[in-house]
């Protein structure tokens, strides 16, 4: 029983570290592990309680980005959703995405000096992240988070949705991905024959 408590506490502690660095999905997995290891043990009430509360915080942070993205799909000029998504990206240390959203706020409101200052602060952090990712990929120690990178690249195109694209890891080649596409509805609609 003591071994299970120690394992659960270690998983919780490691989850806290991941949470602190904005890696909410990974933190969720460790909190879930802690809950499974310490399931139904009276001595584990405190650990389980903390893990449940921390899972709520993870879901909240992850859901903020999803909901803001849904808002922006409906109204790409909704400043409040952009600002909230920037804050969520900053918490997750996704500085590239935060910079892109900040640039969008400046496009929408050129007088927004706070956004301009934020871009100046965030761009070096974004460059540092990109350099770190590049070094990890070259050395083989890192992994490409395809969804993040692909979303980032497609978001740069403007209103192109990512739902028409998918990326799957190639099991035979580490770091290799296959991208499948469908013609987006807005393109397909524009290519329909016109009666002459």
Each residue's pLDDT tens digit, 44-95: 889 989 999 999 999 888 888 989 999 999 999 999 999 999 999 988 888 9
Please list the residues that pair with 165 across neighbouring strands: 181
Q: What is the DSSP string of 157-186?
A: TSS--STTEEEEE-TTSTT-EEEEE---HH
Grouping H, G, I as helix, E, B as strand and the rest as coil, residue 93 is coil
Burial class (CB in 10 A: 0-12, 13-18, 19+), 110: exposed
pTM for the whole structure: 0.56
Q: What is the DSSP string of 134-154?
A: HHHHHHT-----HHHHHHHHH
Burial class (CB in 10 A: 0-12, 13-18, 19+), 22: middle
Q: What is the DSSP string of 4-50?
A: HHHHHHHHHHHHHHHHHTT-HHHHHHHHHHHHHHTTT-GGGHHHHHH
Burial class (CB in 10 A: 0-12, 13-18, 19+), 101: buried
Q: N- to C-terminal Cα distance for the chain? A: 79
How far, in Å, CA of 65 to CA of 72, rounded? 10
Residue 158 has pLDDT above 60, yes or no: no
Residue 163 has pLDDT above 90, yes or no: no
Q: What is the pLDDT of residues 4-24, one digit of tens each?
A: 889 999 999 999 999 988 888
Q: Average pLDDT over the chain, rounded to whole?
A: 77
The distance from CA 82 to its chain's CA centroid, rounded to whole angstroms, is 15
């Amino acid at each position: 029983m003591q071994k299970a408590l120690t394992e659960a506490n270690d998983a919780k502690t490691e989850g806290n570290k991941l949470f602190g660095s904005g890696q909410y999905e990974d933190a969720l997995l460790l909190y879930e592990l802690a809950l499974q290891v310490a399931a139904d043990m009276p001595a584990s009430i405190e650990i389980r309680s903390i893990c449940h509360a921390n899972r709520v915080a993870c879901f909240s942070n992850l859901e903020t980005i999803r909901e803001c993205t849904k808002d922006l799909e409906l109204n790409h000029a909704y400043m409040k959703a952009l600002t909230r998504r920037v804050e969520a990206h900053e918490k997750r240390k996704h500085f590239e995405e935060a910079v892109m959203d900040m640039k969008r706020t400046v496009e929408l409101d050129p007088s927004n000096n706070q956004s301009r200052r934020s871009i100046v602060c965030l761009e070096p952090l974004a460059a540092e992240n990109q350099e770190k990712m590049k070094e990890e990929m070259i050395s083989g120690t890192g992994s490409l988070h395809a969804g993040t990178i692909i979303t980032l690249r497609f978001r740069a195109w403007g209103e192109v949705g990512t739902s028409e694209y998918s990326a799957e890891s190639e099991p035979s080649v580490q770091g290799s991905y296959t991208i499948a596409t469908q013609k987006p509805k807005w393109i397909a609609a524009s290519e329909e024959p016109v009666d002459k």
